[in-house]
Copies of this chain bind each other. A is one copy, B any other.
């Protein structure tokens, strides 16, 4: 097997490995905001004018799943569904101030835990790792 396909296989395996552990770690570290909810909320925060259907497509989830997750987030006051005057079928999503606070706390914890694992990484490696991940995800 070529060096290249070995690298691809390693990337595949290690990413899956991470994904598999992330759920459990996240459930333990911030109970009360599931990984799904956290991710959806983060996405809405970062992307203006997101609608439920966009989330479903992006995260490969059924629209019913997204609908219920958003309903829960809205119930808890972390997110608003704003009627779009131009299109009465859909509603545009927006994180509330309360939601933003929750996200800040969760993010701080998550980033803190991650920073611990990365303490002995040189700055240059961190920057490159970050850019690789962005590049991979945006493909």
Contacts and interface: CB of A to CB of B under 8 A. Distances in A.
Interface of A: 3-26, 28, 35-36, 38-39, 42, 58-61, 107, 110-111, 114-115, 117-118, 121, 123, 125-130, 132-137, 139
How many copies of the chain does the oligomer comprise?
Answer: 2
Nearest to A13: B42
A72 B18 CA distance: 23
Contact of A15 (B5, B18, B126): B18
Most chain B CB atoms below 10 A, which of A10, A13, A22, A139: A13
Contacts of A5: 111, 115
Contact of A11 (B14, B38, B107, B114): B114
A10 to B, nearest CB: 4
Given A8-B126, A14-B130, 9 more contacts: A5-B115, A14-B137, A16-B22, A16-B38, A18-B133, A21-B58, A21-B60, A118-B139, A125-B132
